[in-house]
Amino acid sequence: MKLKDERIYMKSYEYNSIFTPQEFQDFARDIIQIKENKFIESFAEGKDGGIDGRFIDQEGNITILQVKRYKNMNVTILNTMKEEKRKMDLLIKNGKRVDRYILVLSEDISVQKKDDILDIMSEYIKCSEDVIMKADLNNLLSMPKYKEIEDKYYQLWYPSTNILNRKLFDVVNGVLLQKSKMCYADMIEEKQIFVETSVYKEIISKVHKNKTVIISGEPGVGKTMLGKQVALFYLGKYHTETFINVSDMNDLYTALKINGKKVIFFDDFWGGNQLEKIKVQNVSKELTRIIKTVKKRNDCILIITTREYVLEQGLKYNEELRNIVKKYKLECLIQQYSDADKLQIYYGHLKHAELAWKQTYELMKHGNLVINSKNYNPRVLEMFFESVETNMLPDKCTRILDRYLECPLDFWKDIFNGLSKEARILYVIMAIAPLPIEASILRKFYNNYIQKKENSYEWKNFFEVQIELEKTVIRTDLYDVTADKVLVVTFQNPSAKDFLIDLLKNNFFIF
């Protein structure tokens, strides 16, 4: 990987938007460790008794570190510090020592507010310099000895969507520009729940070596999020100048023309193609040529995701691409996730859901049940947490989760109701057809149905509907049959069919 690791210092970092509370706490701890040249003890998230970090000097003096990250500090900080004063007083009352108190804030506050804090905490804060605000943090980061902090917390270097806008404005059309900005915003939000699994680290290693990676795998395993977060890593770590989200070969060629260092993300490659032999052959040849081109350049990273069976179809017609893919491909499977990875993914979704404390506590206790479920799937977890309402009783949350995992009929009902009318029709066809079924036969069934409908030309084609259902309901595999390979479709989970059979029994005449 030859992209140079450059640094261009920004005038001001907005820590509230860059870091989660826990990330900012870790960041502040690392800053103070360098500033004080001391190792600081860290403590788990939760009620901290007023202590986020602690260190003891050679004389035995104890220094407490407290970190605050939230918005509108000028309005609430004094009330917050009165509560912190009460916590410190309680420590003293219980025989503990507090010789010094360092406060780190994610925002700047007024001089008057800072003086008021010094008055409130006068027994513990020894000098004004021990109240460190946003401007102070930015000042410290401009000093050479703090460069390692920027290397570690590459979130500091994510460009804003405005920067992306300026870079792309004169080069690409409005649709590609807007699509890239929206995808980038999603990447930033998803960063809060993303878990850096061993698969993620392996992908980073492949990109370092080859500058291109092809992430394949079954639906719902997390290919798209993996690809996005790898892109985000390079945007941050290597100060890459722009990000382009492409969806076809024309977009890809446009992206390659953009000057400067760039990350190109192509999600669901071949997804828009109908796997016809001539089309796949042509696209495969183009992709082969582009991968070779990217390999020779020092200004570009290419990240591709694809469904495994679709990739196999493409390789069927291009032996040269097959040889290249052996080098660049990484298949992502649920089985590759360790129990620790699965648990972190679950807790990441739980944390991001922002539920009530009692709901969160009850769902946390279900972690082991979740990771040992045969129905474990990151997309299923995401959809479950989206369905939980903050006024729902905690025990009801856990009952629903149990149902989703063990007998998820309600879950499939939510999915069914969210499908397009075309996807519902194909879902019903599959429920009454013998499975697994060849994709070509299923396609005929679907086409025969819509041809009998008025304005059939307005209906989605089979391939669009197949892609929609693959996100949650069905899976498509490539089977070896004699000398040829056949695409075969079935349900991802037997309970998906169980739900629909039950629905058909109770609503036969509707369908």
Q: Are residues 145 and 266 in the same domain?
A: no
At 5 the pLDDT is 42
Q: Are residues 172 and 306 in the same domain?
A: yes
SS3 letters for 130-174? HEECHHHHHHHHCCHHHHHHHHHCHHHHCCCHHHHHHHHCCCCCH
- Checking if the pLDDT of 403 tops 50, the result is yes
Higher pLDDT residue, 105 or 337? 105
Q: Are residues 399 and 446 in the same domain?
A: no
Q: Are residues 214 and 122 in the same domain?
A: no
The DSSP bridge pattern shows strands 484-491 and 474-481 to be antiparallel
What is the rounded CA–CA span in Å between residue 206 and residue 331? Answer: 12
Q: Which domain holds residue 402?
A: 339-406
| pLDDT tens digits for range 62-72 | 999 999 998 88
Q: How confident is the model at residue 4 (pLDDT cuts 50, 70, 90)?
A: very low
- Checking if the pLDDT of 293 tops 80, the result is yes
At 61 the pLDDT is 92
Q: Which of residues 336, 369, 397 is at a domain's end?
A: 336
290 belongs to a structural domain: yes
At 273 the pLDDT is 45
Task: Give me the percent of the chain exceeding a pLDDT of 90.
Answer: 35
The residue type of 26 is D
Q: Which of residues 132, 155, 178 is at a domain's end?
A: 155
Q: How confident is the model at residue 128 (pLDDT cuts 50, 70, 90)?
A: very high
Q: Which of residues 113, 138, 155 is at a domain's end?
A: 155
What is the rounded CA–CA span in Å between residue 161 and residue 182? Answer: 9
At 281 the pLDDT is 64
479: its two tokens:
């089977």
Q: Are residues 93 and 129 in the same domain?
A: yes
Angle of the 198-210 helix axis to the 223-237 helix axis, nearest 10: 60
Contact 137, 13 (CB under 8 A): yes
What is the rounded CA–CA span in Å between residue 345 and residue 197? Answer: 9
Q: Are residues 280 and 227 in the same domain?
A: yes
Give me the CATH number covering residue 192: 3.40.50.300
102: its two tokens:
């360092």
At 162 the pLDDT is 52
At 24 the pLDDT is 92
Q: How confident is the model at residue 477 (pLDDT cuts 50, 70, 90)?
A: confident
Contact 419, 427 (CB under 8 A): yes
Average pLDDT over residues 205-231: 89
Q: Are residues 38 and 97 in the same domain?
A: yes
Q: Are residues 351 and 428 in the same domain?
A: no
What is the rounded CA–CA span in Å between residue 100 and residue 64? Answer: 6
For the ranges 186-195, 206-215, 295-304, 338-347, which has the lowest average pLDDT? Answer: 186-195
At 197 the pLDDT is 85
Contact 232, 189 (CB under 8 A): no
Contact 273, 314 (CB under 8 A): no
Cis ω on the peptide bond leading into residue 436 (within 30° of 0)? yes
For the ranges 143-147, 380-384, 431-435, 467-471, which has the lowest average pLDDT? Answer: 380-384
- Checking if the pLDDT of 221 tops 50, the result is yes
Give the chain's domain count.
4
At 215 the pLDDT is 93
Other beta carbons within 10 Å of 481: 10
Please work out, in degrees rounded to the nearest 5, the angle formed at the alpha carbon of residue 372 by the alpha carbons of 368 and 375: 125
Q: Are residues 395 and 421 in the same domain?
A: no
For the ranges 47-51, 476-480, 502-506, which has the lowest average pLDDT? Answer: 47-51
Give me the CATH number covering residue 121: 3.40.1350
Question: Which of 184, 254, 223, 472 is CA-nearest to residue 332?
Answer: 223
Q: Are residues 266 and 187 in the same domain?
A: yes
| pLDDT tens digits for range 315-329 | 776 777 788 888 888
240 belongs to a structural domain: yes
At 46 the pLDDT is 53
- Residues 366-386 as b/e (b if ≥16 CB within 10 A, e otherwise) read bbeebbebebbbbbbbbbbbe
Determine the distance from the C-alpha atom of residue 498 to the mean position of all C-alpha atoms in its chain, rounded to a whole number. Answer: 31
What is the rounded CA–CA span in Å between residue 148 and residue 145? Answer: 7
Q: Output Rg (C-alpha) for the chain, integer angstroms.
A: 27
- Checking if the pLDDT of 6 tops 50, the result is no
The DSSP call for residue 154 is G
At 163 the pLDDT is 52
At 493 the pLDDT is 73
171: its two tokens:
């080069």
At 475 the pLDDT is 84
41: its two tokens:
């003890």
At 279 the pLDDT is 59
The DSSP call for residue 455 is T
- Checking if the pLDDT of 131 tops 90, the result is yes
Mean pLDDT of the chain: 83
Q: How far is CA 85 from CA 42, 92, 107, 109, 505, in A?
A: 20, 11, 20, 19, 65
What is the rounded CA–CA span in Å between residue 311 and residue 271? Answer: 10
Residue for token pair 């079935």: 490
511 belongs to a structural domain: no
- Checking if the pLDDT of 240 tops 60, the result is yes
Please work out, in degrees rounded to the nearest 5, the angle formed at the alpha carbon of residue 354 by the alpha carbons of 351 and 358: 90
Q: Are residues 178 and 326 in the same domain?
A: yes
| pLDDT tens digits for range 450-472 | 888 767 678 899 999 998 998 88
Would you call 468 helix, strand, or coil by DSSP?
helix
Q: How confident is the model at residue 8 (pLDDT cuts 50, 70, 90)?
A: very low
Phi, psi of 402 (to 5 degrees): -60, -40
78 belongs to a structural domain: yes
Higher pLDDT residue, 105 or 45? 105
Contact 296, 258 (CB under 8 A): no
The DSSP call for residue 444 is H
32: its two tokens:
């103070």
**Range among 57-61, 290-294, 378-382, 489-493 with highest mean pLDDT value:** 290-294
Length reported for the chain: 511
With a CB cutoff of 8 Å and minimum separation 6, the contacts of 456 are: 450
What is the rounded CA–CA span in Å between residue 373 and residue 376? Answer: 5
Question: Which of 198, 454, 492 is CA-nearest to residue 336?
Answer: 198
Q: Are residues 328 and 191 in the same domain?
A: yes
Contact 211, 294 (CB under 8 A): yes
Determine the distance from the C-alpha atom of residue 390 to the mean position of all C-alpha atoms in its chain, rounded to a whole number. Answer: 23
What is the rounded CA–CA span in Å between residue 71 and residue 81? Answer: 15
At 274 the pLDDT is 44
Residue for token pair 């507090």: 98
The residue type of 478 is L
Phi, psi of 56 (to 5 degrees): -120, 130
Residue for token pair 């879902």: 427
